[in-house]
Amino acid sequence: MTSPKTTTELPTAENPPCSPVAIALTAENLGTEVVTLYVGPKRKQIVVHKKLLCNRIEYFSKAFDGRFKEGREGIIYLPEDDADSMSQLVDWLYRCTIPPIIQSTMPARKLYYLAEKLCVSEAMNAVMDEIQKYHKVYSVHFNPNQMLDVYRSTHERSKLRLYVAAQAACSFRVLKHRKTWDANSELFSKMSVDFFRDIMRIQLDHWDKLREDYVWPQRHNIGKGLDLCDFHVHNKDNLSNGNVTQTEQGNLENLEAVNREEN
């Protein structure tokens, strides 16, 4: 993961940079007022500086702006959200780091879902980078269950969906997937139309380029391919799908690695 930079400026919800930026934890940036979030069905209590929270996440700036009871009392209940993910998101607000992925991307995916729901693009980008790094380092990709989970938990312009579709399209293109298909045909039947539409779109646009280095271009350092930013949300994207950049021709090595799913 990229080492967080430090700045004395407080990035705002209106102008998030794509790289992680840790703020200086000064009284000026944090303020003195704190608010309390009660998250999940068990109402996990999370106390956070109001200024930090509201400057970075528009949802909370509206919830705590004084017009609502939450704003006046400094308390908000979020029973449907994941408490651990919210803790990680708040930790990210302070330290600009997210937990490393160990063995499973599930916690990272849940953090992404929450960050996407709250439109915290910097956090989404940080999680996306971590997922890509994990997949690259361990030569694994999402399994069908995880793909299903992503499509059920994100919106149709999600960059995590785009990443899943690129992985699936790449895998179907370059590998012997008959076995994978047979083993997971029932699961694939549960995938939404969006999933297959996204795969077809990528295949139509980039059939010749669907290869290992398409999804993990930095593995072999071959020319231009998809890079981390292709799966980021940037200001200019306004949460829309970005166009996928093209990959140049290169050596196709280690194909088996593409076909290893996460546990």
Residues of this chain that bind Zn ion (CB under 5 A): 18, 229, 232
Distance CA 229, CA 25 (A): 28
Tokens of 113: 């879902």
Distance CA 125, CA 172 (A): 26
With contact defined as beta carbons under 8 Å apart, do 80 and 65 qualify?
Answer: no
Q: Tell the smallest beta-carbon distance from residue 148 to Zn ion (Å).
A: 27
Q: Which is nearer to Zn ion, 85 or 132 (CB)?
A: 132
Q: Which is nearer to Zn ion, 169 or 226 (CB)?
A: 226
Q: Tell the smallest beta-carbon distance from residue 218 to Zn ion (Å).
A: 14
Tell me how far CA of residue 163 lies from CA of 100, 135, 160, 226, 227, in angstroms.
19, 11, 5, 10, 11
Distance CA 202, CA 236 (A): 21
Q: Tell the smallest beta-carbon distance from residue 1 to Zn ion (Å).
A: 14
Q: Which is nearer to Zn ion, 156 or 227 (CB)?
A: 227
Q: Which residues, including other chains, have CB under 8 Å from residue 30's CB and lie 6 or more apart?
A: 49, 51, 52
Q: Which is nearer to Zn ion, 13 or 18 (CB)?
A: 18
Q: Tell the smallest beta-carbon distance from residue 232 to Zn ion (Å).
A: 3
Q: Which is nearer to Zn ion, 20 or 144 (CB)?
A: 20
Q: Which is nearer to Zn ion, 71 or 225 (CB)?
A: 225
Q: Which residues, including other chains, have CB under 8 Å from residue 132's CB and lie 6 or more apart?
A: 163, 216, 228, 231
With contact defined as beta carbons under 8 Å apart, do 150 and 142 qualify?
Answer: yes
Could you tell me the sign of the dihedral formed by the alpha carbons of 213, 216, 217, 222, in that order? negative
With contact defined as beta carbons under 8 Å apart, do 100 and 130 qualify?
Answer: yes
